[in-house]
């Protein structure tokens, strides 16, 4: 029986060990048996330890071109109860891990085969060794084999592919923005919403028949209702119940509006009793005969509606004519409205019109507010509520960030930098004793008091000899200058800085509290100071920005990424 372990490449032959253990003899009695037992126990322990877990590693290719990816694979065979921890992070140096894939799991009887893959690459040619990788299985630690990989250059045949000089910069006309499209779209949406509000709320709609009747005086409305009753087909179909219901409603409605305001809800006896009292009180000059006629028609209508009475159709027509006459008599019996009553009626109508107009205004305001809030919420969910708020209200840093930036070179040797505004030449004061030793050019946008500012300063020192400019001392001098301008609580962090085109310098950054132009309180701000030196030249870039301002942070990042010092690089 043989057990093969790939990691350490150890082969243990149990039969040979057992044979050698049994052949080994000592003169002492019983000792050979003891040796056999010890050897067998050692083999069994070693066998079980290696059988519980096996770790192997491999790559899909040992020779790649610069930038190509190779797949590094670790395979672990273990039982189902063991916890396996694979290597994570950049543990494959000098190769770079660009992707870590998920673990593939295969079950084989009572064991698991776990396969972990990594994507590795290298951007420099040469021979590299992937170091051993540590794999933890349960409480034990295993190491994979180290592997060698060749990274080859990409061969370029210059006889077939010629080399050419860099082409000069071509000026490209600035394309116009699409702001006018957004303006037109906004105006179109506002026009559609305005039209819908006008059409459904403010437009004077044609009145329906019911609305037209409601605008008529009670007498004219009652007469028109009788004409409509004549046009109905109730009598043709001998539908006397509906006929008398409409007929009595017409006279009751007229009496309710002009004589007794509870005529619609009163019973026939109550209504007749009320009319009699009004007559006796000389409030309505209506005859006893008129009251009797109304009583007779109303009681007949009650019999038809509630007792299933069936009067003759001709009698129904007669009752209709009687009601027509009684409406005229009631109108004649009513006193003429006084000027006061007419004025009250006019005021009532004007008040109703004002209520209608007020209702339309309220509905328009509510709809407009709803649309504004819905638009704000929609854009807020899509772009962020702070961004939408700053766009509507305005934000100084946001306007600078989204404005037209300027890329220019300042000083000599030139410092190329992109800024939201052009930096203007500024004459900084130089002590009298230093004027003979240093010449300085400075370009600024804003000041420390404005919180956001950008400055580029180039200082040329004379008679330096073999002395070199100490960037850290220069940084301390700049910090003291900011303190002299009123800055307080300056936090200083220093680190190496490399521009996108490879120029190296010192970066000093941190926070400070700067005086304000508008108040006595100190405002918190961030600052970044970049310093570069070449021979006897010191180049400085200082940026100050408001603290906790995401737009300002984006501007600072954009400015730092644009810095180029070609002369300093040479």
Comparison of pLDDT for 97 and 449, the residue scoring more: 97
More confident residue, 170 or 202: 202
Which pLDDT band holds residue 248 (cuts at 50, 70, 90)? very high
Residue 526 has pLDDT above 70, yes or no: yes
- Tell me if 264 sits within 8 A of 255, measured CB to CB: no
Tokens for 187? 């105006």
Per-residue pLDDT tens for 64-76?
Answer: 988 889 999 999 9
Instruction: Place 154 in a pLDDT band, splitting at 50, 70 and 90.
Output: confident
Residue 342 has pLDDT above 90, yes or no: no
Which helix (H) or strand (E) segment holds residue 496: the answer is strand 493-498
pLDDT at 433: 65
Sign of the four-CA dihedral 313, 318, 294, 224: positive
Which pLDDT does position 23 carry in this prediction? 41
Contact 254, 327 (CB under 8 A): yes
The answer to whether residue 214 scores a pLDDT higher than 80 is no
What is the dihedral sign for C-alpha 86, 88, 91, 96? positive
**Which structure tokens are listed for 367?**
């709809």
Asked if pLDDT for residue 351 goes beyond 70, the answer is yes
What mean pLDDT do residues 156-177 have? 63
Q: What is the pLDDT of residues 411-441, one digit of tens each?
A: 888 889 999 988 988 887 777 667 677 888 8
- pLDDT of residue 307 exceeding 70, the answer is yes
Cα gap 62→150, rounded to integer Å: 6
Domains and CATH numbers, the chain: 1-155 (2.60.40.10), 209-335 (1.20.120), 396-569 (3.40.1000.10)
Q: β-strand 96-100 against 70-79: which pairing, if any? A: unpaired
- Higher pLDDT residue, 31 or 544? 544
Phi, psi for residue 548 in degrees, rounded to 5: 60, 40
Give the rounded percent of residues in the chain with a pLDDT score beyond 70: 79
In this model, does residue 95 exceed pLDDT 70? yes
Helix (H/G/I), strand (E/B), else coil: 131: coil
* Residue 4 in this model has a pLDDT that exceeds 90: no
Mean pLDDT, range 483-500, rounded to an integer = 88
Position 175 pLDDT exceeds 60: no
Mean confidence (pLDDT) of the chain: 80
Average pLDDT over residues 108-129: 88
Q: pLDDT at position 16, please?
A: 45
Instruction: Answer whether 418's CB lies under 8 Å from 445's CB.
Output: no
Please report which residue ranges of 159-308 form alpha helices under DSSP H.
179-197, 209-215, 218-231, 240-258, 268-280, 288-306
pLDDT given for residue 200 in this prediction: 85
At 465 the pLDDT is 64
Q: Is the pTM of this model over 0.75?
A: no
- pLDDT recorded at residue 13: 41
Looking at the predicted structure, is the pLDDT value of residue 58 above 90? yes
Looking at the predicted structure, is the pLDDT value of residue 251 above 90? Answer: yes
Assess whether pLDDT exceeds 90 at residue 252: yes
Alpha carbon 72 to its chain's center: 40
Q: Which of 59, 235, 234, 82 is nearest to 130 (CA)?
A: 59
Predicted local confidence at residue 320, as pLDDT: 92
CA distance 566 to 563: 10
- Strands 2-5 and 134-137 turn out to be unpaired
pLDDT tens, 229-241? Answer: 999 889 888 899 9
Poorest-confidence range of 49-58, 313-322, 341-350, 490-499? Answer: 49-58
Give pLDDT, residue 464: 67
Confidence of residue 209 (pLDDT cuts 50, 70, 90): low
pLDDT over 80 (residue 129): yes
Alpha helix stretches (DSSP H) within 447-515: 471-484
Q: What is the mean predicted confidence (pLDDT) over 455-462?
A: 87
Return d(Cα 48, Cα 79) in angstroms, integer: 12
For the segment 112-141, the average pLDDT, to the nearest whole number, is 90
pLDDT at 11 over 50: no
317 vs 20 pLDDT, higher one: 317
């Amino acid at each position: 029986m043989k057990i093969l372990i790939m990691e350490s490449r150890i082969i243990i032959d149990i039969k040979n060990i057992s044979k050698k253990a049994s052949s080994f003899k000592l003169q002492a009695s019983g000792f050979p048996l003891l040796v056999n037992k010890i050897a067998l126990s050692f083999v069994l322990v070693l066998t079980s330890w290696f059988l519980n877990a096996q770790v192997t590693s491999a790559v899909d290719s040992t020779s790649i071109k610069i930038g190509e990816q190779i797949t590094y694979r670790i395979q672990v065979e273990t039982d189902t109860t063991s916890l396996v921890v694979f290597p994570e992070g950049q543990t494959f140096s000098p190769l770079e891990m660009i992707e870590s894939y998920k673990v593939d799991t295969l079950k084989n009887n009572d064991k698991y085969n776990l396969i972990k893959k990594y994507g590795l690459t290298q951007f420099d040619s040469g021979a590299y060794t992937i170091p051993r990788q540590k794999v933890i299985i349960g409480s034990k630690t295993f190491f994979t084999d180290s592997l060698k990989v060749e990274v080859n250059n990409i061969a370029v045949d210059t006889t077939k592919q010629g080399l050419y000089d860099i082409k000069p910069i071509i000026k490209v006309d600035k394309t116009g923005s699409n702001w006018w499209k957004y303006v037109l779209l906004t105006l179109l949406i506002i026009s559609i919403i305005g039209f819908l509000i006008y059409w459904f709320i403010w437009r004077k709609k044609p009145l329906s028949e019911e609305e037209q009747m409601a605008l008529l005086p009670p007498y004219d409305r009652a007469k028109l209702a009788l004409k409509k009753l004549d046009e109905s087909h109730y009598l043709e179909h001998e539908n006397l119940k509906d006929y008398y219901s409409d007929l009595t409603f017409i006279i009751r409605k007229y009496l309710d509006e002009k004589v007794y305001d509870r005529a619609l809800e009163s019973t026939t006896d109550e209504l007749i009793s009320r009319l009699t009292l009004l007559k006796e009180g000389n409030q309505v000059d209506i005859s006893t005969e008129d009251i009797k006629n109304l009583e007779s028609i109303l009681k007949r209508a009650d019999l038809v509606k509630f007792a299933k009475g069936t009067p003759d159709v001709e009698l129904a027509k007669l009752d209709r004519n009687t009601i027509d006459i009684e409406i005229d008599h009631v109108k004649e019996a009513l006193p003429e409205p006084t000027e006061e009553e007419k004025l009250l009626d006019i005021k009532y109508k004007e008040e109703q019109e004002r209520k209608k107009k007020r209702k339309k205004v309220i509905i328009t305001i509510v709809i407009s507010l709803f649309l504004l809030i819905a638009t704000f919420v929609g854009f807020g969910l899509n772009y962020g509520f702070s961004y939408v708020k700053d766009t509507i209200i305005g934000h100084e840093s946001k306007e600078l960030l989204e404005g037209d930036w300027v890329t220019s070179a300042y000083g000599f040797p030139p410092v190329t930098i992109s800024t939201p505004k052009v930096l203007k030449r500024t004459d900084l004061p130089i002590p009298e004793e230093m004027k003979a030793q240093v010449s300085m050019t400075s370009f600024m946008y804003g000041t420390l008091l404005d919180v956001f500012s950008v400055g580029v300063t180039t200082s040329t020192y004379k008679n330096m000899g073999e002395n070199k400019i100490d960037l850290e001392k220069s940084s301390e001098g700049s910090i003291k200058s900011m303190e002299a301008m009123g800055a307080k609580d300056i936090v200083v962090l220093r680190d190496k800085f490399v521009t996108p085109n490879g120029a190296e310098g010192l970066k000093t950054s941190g926070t400070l509290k700067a005086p304000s132009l508008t108040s006595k309180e100190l405002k918190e701000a961030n600052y970044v100071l970049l310093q570069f030196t070449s021979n006897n030249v010191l180049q400085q870039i200082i940026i100050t920005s408001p603290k906790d301002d995401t737009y300002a942070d984006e501007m600072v990042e954009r400015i730092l990424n644009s810095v180029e010092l070609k002369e300093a690089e040479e």
